[in-house]
Amino acid sequence: MCSIIAANHQGELDLVFFENRDRPKELFIGNDIRQIQDVIGIYDFRAKGMACGYSIQSETAGGVANILGYTGSKSRGVILLRALEEAKSAKDAGRIIREEVSGGDYSSARYVLCDGNSIVSLENFGTKVHLSEDQRKRFLVTANHFRNLRSGMRHESSVLREKYLKTIGSNITEKSILRLATRHRNPAICRHGRTLSSFIVFKNHNPKQSRILYSLGEPCKGYKEFSLK
Ligand SMILES: [Zn+2]
C-alpha cells in the first residue's frame, strides 16, 4: 500500500513528488535506492522494477500504488521503470504505460507521473485502462483505490488516507511534505511495521536544481539525500 503526492507550479518548487511505500501484499524480499541509466528510485529486489523513481534526463517523477483485485503475470514496477527510462515527459510516460498494460498482463494499479508541466494518472484493471491528463491539474494524490475505474478493492483506511493527503492543499513546501510524510496519527502516513521506504523529489525554481531524498525504513527515522553526479 502506498501514499503518493505529485505537484508542480508550487511557489519556489517547480516539481514535488512524494511516495511512502508500504509492504506489498505479495511476497517481499527487500528494496533499496539505486540509479539505473538516468532513473533514480526505490528498487524492488523481487520485482526487479521500481515502486517510484525520477528521471534526471526528462525530469519526470513517477510512482505506482497497487490496487487489490486483479492479478496479472507481469510486474508493475518493471513497466514504471521502463516508462521513466524511455519517456521524454510525464505524458509520454503515461502513454507508454497505457500501451503496455492494456493487454491485461499487469496486476491492477494506479500510476502517477509528474513533470514541471503536467500530472498524469493511469488506472488499470484487467484490460480496462483509464488515463487522465488534465493540463490544468497542479496537484494530485493517491492511496490504494481507484478514482475512475469502478473495480478493485476500496478499503475505508485507503479512502481516509487519501482524504488526509489532500489536506496538504496548494502551496506545498519542503517543510509541509516532510511533516506529512512522518505523520503517525490516524490516518498514519508513516506506518510502522508497514512502511518500507520513502522517496521525495524537490525540483527548485531558483537555482534550478533537483534534490532526491529517501529513507529505507520508516521516514520518521530520517531522510538521506541521494547525491546526483
Ligand atoms: Zn514513523
The count of structural domains within the chain is 1
Q: Which of 128, 52, 48, 120 is nearest to 88 (CA)?
A: 120
pTM of the model as a whole: 0.96
Q: What's the 193 CA to ligand 1 centre distance in angstroms?
A: 9
Q: What's the 105 CA to ligand 1 centre distance in angstroms?
A: 35
Q: What's the 208 CA to ligand 1 centre distance in angstroms?
A: 31
Q: What is the CATH number of the domain that holds 141?
A: 3.60.60.10
CA distance 105 to 52: 20
pLDDT value of residue 99: 97
Q: What's the 40 CA to ligand 1 centre distance in angstroms?
A: 24
User: Counting Cβ atoms within 10 Å, is residue 27 exposed (0-12), middle (13-18) or buried (19+)?
Assistant: exposed
Question: Considering Cα of 71, then 76, then 78, then 79, what sign does the dihedral take?
Answer: positive
Q: What's the 16 CA to ligand 1 centre distance in angstroms?
A: 21
pLDDT at 229 over 80: no
CA distance 177 to 171: 11
pLDDT at 136 over 90: no
Domain extent, residue 112, equals: 2-226
Mean pLDDT of the chain: 95
66-99, pLDDT tens digit by residue?
999 999 999 999 999 999 999 999 999 999 999 9
